[in-house]
Amino acid sequence: MAEFVYPPVIGAALTAFRALDVRIKIVGAEHIPAEGGAVLVSNHISYLDFLFAGLGAYRGGKRKTRFMAKDDVFKHRISGPLMRGMKHIPVDRTDGQPAYEAAVRALKAGEVVGVFPEATISRSFMLKKFKTGAARMAADSGTPLLPVVLWGTQQLWTKGRPKTLTKRHVPVTIMIGEPIHLGPDDKPVMVTRKLRAAMSEMLDQAQREYLGKPAGADDTWWQPTHLGGTAPTLEVAEAEDEAEALAKAERRAARG
């Protein structure tokens, strides 16, 4: 089923991007493995990141990435059939073990599995703390980690901002790094640190080389503070995340 669903979805996305003149730049496509399993690890700055990260792997080697995503998306009447048809992996945040096991099985079967180790979108557009799940999956499946960094996607649709899906001429960078192969004695915590350090360097390069500029003083929200933008700092963004999580927990408790 996936092979009938995935290519048309990619085709539809590319058609939309062309109509909006989204200026996609893919760097490092040669690092996409031609075959075999790999854990594609991407930063997370937009609700559309799975499209662009998946596009990088598809354009680079015709690889179809099976992303791990919260199970609510699979329950939606429109997105649900598409997510299942593309063999993405639903994650129940109250019990993630079944999703983890499904991901390891897919990796051992030679699939590319997509993971966002920050779990949620970064409001600062810089790298948050990484969870170790990607490194553990790579170790358990005997597959490499494939670091991917996206930049520019936050201008289209991100947390706390209105959708701007009709915004034209937005440059988007998809940067793919060298695979990280794990040794038998590598510890997930140390591998995760190495992965985050590599992706931090990639993100810095993507930001330095990015061709997009703010349209004016009111258009600096998508740039981090060290680039002169007005996005919240990592510390402020973390506090906002904690406040949001607390409010959600209180609402769940109130519903009983």
Question: For the residues 4-28, what does the mean pLDDT come to?
Answer: 94
| Distance between CA atoms of residues 127 and 203, nearest Å | 8
| Distance between CA atoms of residues 154 and 37, nearest Å | 29
Question: For the residues 168-186, what does the mean pLDDT come to?
Answer: 97
Question: For the residues 187-191, what does the mean pLDDT come to?
Answer: 97
The DSSP letter of residue 217 is G
The DSSP letter of residue 247 is H
pLDDT at 76 over 60: yes
pLDDT at 256 over 80: no
Question: For the residues 44-48, what does the mean pLDDT come to?
Answer: 96
Lowest mean pLDDT among 69-73, 124-128, 175-179, 197-201: 69-73
Instruction: State the pLDDT at residue 74.
Output: 93
Question: For the residues 118-128, what does the mean pLDDT come to?
Answer: 97
Instruction: State the pLDDT at residue 252.
Output: 84
Q: Phi and psi at residue 165, in whole multiples of 5°?
A: -70, -10
Per-residue confidence band for 1, with pLDDT thresholds at 50, 70 and 90: very low
DSSP per-residue codes, 141-165 = HT--EEEEEEESGGGTS-TTS---T
* pLDDT tens-digit readout, 149-173: 999 999 999 999 999 889 999 999 9
For all residues of the chain together, what is the average pLDDT?
95
Q: Is 23 in contact with 211 (CB distance < 8 Å)?
A: yes
Q: Phi and psi at residue 225, in whole multiples of 5°?
A: -60, -35
Task: Provide the edge-to-edge strand list for the sheet that holds 38-42.
Answer: 23-27, 171-176, 145-151, 38-42, 112-115, 65-70, 89-91
* pLDDT tens-digit readout, 128-151: 999 999 999 999 999 999 999 999
* pLDDT tens-digit readout, 216-238: 999 999 999 999 999 999 999 99
Per-residue confidence band for 4, with pLDDT thresholds at 50, 70 and 90: confident
How many residues are there in the chain? 256
| Percent of the chain with pLDDT strictly greater than 70 | 99
Lowest mean pLDDT among 2-6, 55-59, 73-77, 204-208: 2-6
